[in-house]
């Protein structure tokens, strides 16, 4: 059952030059893949994935706009509002799983990567970023299984985009399931790869959200709402969406190229 709480930040951890994790105690559940609506006092309320579960939870935030830039200046002891959790969760199915993450998309998948490993699945992670300094949660993924890295500039691991690295892994070995989160064009390439190899896939979509409860329609994807119908979608669901990987919505709701 979603809850609203105002909680103090217990700890801040700088993950990359542009990404920060905020830890806090929250009296609610939460499953891998679900998200919270986080109120940044005096600025805005934004959707954020649960990157840590358990008694002390966490959200990991990429500094990309005015509100998140202001949030980056918060300190331990500052208070934030949280409501949720919302959305569906990753289904923990399969004995061998490939997780493909791009940039801050790893924040949405890391709890699922750890949950798969805890139930005995073999997890292979392909983590991508623009540059080595922006790689996120590689150490946590490595503690849960095998990790392969791609950087756009070739500063670490495979030189190129992470879907190309994922294709090499899929050609090399058999997977029961693929998870993915990252820029939508990246996910579209991974979904197409999974379909070509008839591997079930779960993609965690990120869209602009205002309410998180299906009222504002800001996160619409064709005739679905990411906050209510997602954020996790299968290839079969995504097949019916004209906008996936092609269009997104701006703050006014106008459809613009992805």
**Average pLDDT in the chain:** 95
Instruction: Look at residue 121 in the predicted model and tell me its pLDDT.
Output: 98
**pLDDT above 90 for 154:** yes
Q: Residue 13: is its pLDDT beyond 90?
A: yes
pLDDT tens-place string over residues 94-138: 999 999 999 999 999 999 999 999 999 999 999 999 999 999 999
Which residues neighbour 235 within 8 Å (Cβ) at sequence distance 6 or greater?
191, 194, 195, 200, 201, 203
The mean pLDDT value for 173-187 works out to 97
pLDDT tens digits, 63-106: 988 899 999 999 999 999 999 999 999 999 999 999 999 999 99
pLDDT level of residue 14 (50, 70, 90 thresholds): very high
Residue with token string 């399931």: 177
Q: Between 65 and 253, whose confidence is greater?
A: 65
Give residue 184's pLDDT. 93
In this prediction, residue 1 has a pLDDT band, given cuts at 50, 70 and 90, of confident
Tokens representing residue 65 in the block: 């706009």
Cα distance between residue 256 and residue 233, in whole Å: 21
Beta bridge partners of 159: 151
Which pLDDT score is estimated for 162? Answer: 98
Cβ(200)–Cβ(234) below 8 Å = yes
110 token code pair: 């890391």
- pLDDT band for position 257 (cuts 50, 70, 90): confident
Residue 56, pLDDT above cutoff 80: yes
Q: What percent of the chain has pLDDT over 70?
A: 100
Total-model pTM: 0.95
pLDDT band for 255, please (50, 70, 90 cuts): confident
Question: Over 90: is that where the pLDDT of 27 sits?
Answer: no
**pLDDT at residue 253, as a whole number:** 76
* pLDDT for the residue numbered 256: 83
What pLDDT is stored for residue 258 in this prediction? Answer: 77
The pLDDT value given to residue 147: 98
pLDDT beyond 90 at 251: no
Q: Of 233, 213, 97, 211, give the one whose Cα is nearest residue 222.
A: 233
Per-residue pLDDT at 206 exceeds 80: yes
Give the C-alpha separation, 191 to 179, whole Å. Answer: 9
């Amino acid at each position: 059952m979603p809850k609203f709480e105002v909680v103090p930040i217990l700890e801040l951890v700088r993950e990359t030059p542009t990404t920060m994790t905020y830890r806090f105690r929250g009296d609610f559940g939460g499953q891998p893949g679900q998200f919270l609506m986080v109120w940044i006092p005096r600025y805005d309320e934004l959707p954020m994935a649960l990157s840590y579960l358990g008694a002390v939870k966490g959200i990991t935030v990429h500094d990309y706009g005015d509100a998140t830039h202001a949030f980056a200046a918060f300190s331990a002891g500052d208070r934030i509002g949280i409501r949720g959790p919302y959305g569906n969760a990753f289904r923990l199915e399969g004995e061998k799983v490939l997780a493909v993450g791009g940039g801050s998309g790893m924040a949405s998948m890391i709890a699922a990567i750890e949950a798969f490993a805890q139930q005995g699945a073999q997890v292979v992670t392909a983590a991508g970023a623009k540059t080595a300094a922006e790689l996120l949660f590689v150490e946590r993924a490595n503690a849960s299984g095998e990790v392969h890295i791609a950087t756009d500039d070739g500063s670490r691991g495979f030189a190129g985009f992470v879907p190309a690295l994922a294709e090499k892994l899929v050609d090399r070995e058999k997977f029961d399931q693929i998870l993915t989160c990252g820029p939508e064009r990246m996910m579209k390439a991974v979904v197409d790869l999974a379909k070509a190899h008839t591997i079930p896939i779960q993609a965690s979509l990120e869209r602009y959200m205002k309410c998180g409860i299906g009222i504002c329609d800001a996160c619409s994807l064709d005739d679905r709402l990411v906050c209510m119908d997602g954020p996790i979608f299968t290839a079969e669901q995504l097949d019916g969406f004209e906008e996936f990987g092609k269009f997104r919505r701006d703050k006014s709701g106008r459809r613009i190229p992805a």
